[in-house]
Amino acid sequence: MQGTHFTVSYHTAGNLAANHSFIFKVPFDCQLIGVSAAASNASSGILDVGYTGALEAYVLNMDVGDSSVAAILDEPGDFVDDNFPHIAALTNIICTLDYDGAGGTAASDFTLVLTFTEG
């Protein structure tokens, strides 16, 4: 493994009743190389990851894992444009969870872990 890797985590407890957005910035250029997402129940949750102005630029309509078994994106082809997304320093990164996948079962105890490499 080369380079410096780091993770960003997000968790919301309980049965969700609305969509959630998790927004942050990284102070240096990086690449998104992994996404792990799960709900504790058999939910219909859908995750998008992007930035201000393009909310689905990196990850589009990822079905989150069910029953505490995480769904994983970790290959270039898992991401939009079949590449690990390169993200410029100070980009406003936005992760959006459609908590019930447009009317399905609401996610409970949602956990998201993003893995990045610096550069």
Q: Where in the chain are the domains? A: 5-118
Predicted local confidence at residue 102, as pLDDT: 85
* 71 band by pLDDT with thresholds 50, 70 and 90: very high
Predicted local confidence at residue 50, as pLDDT: 99
Cα 16 to Cα 45: distance, rounded to the nearest angstrom: 10
11 in Cβ contact with 81 (< 8 Å)? no
The CATH architecture one would assign to domain 5-118 is Sandwich (2.60)
Cα 52 to Cα 91: distance, rounded to the nearest angstrom: 8
Predicted model pTM: 0.94
104 in Cβ contact with 8 (< 8 Å)? no
Residue-wise pLDDT tens digits, 27-36:
999 999 999 9
Distance, first Cα to last Cα, the chain: 14
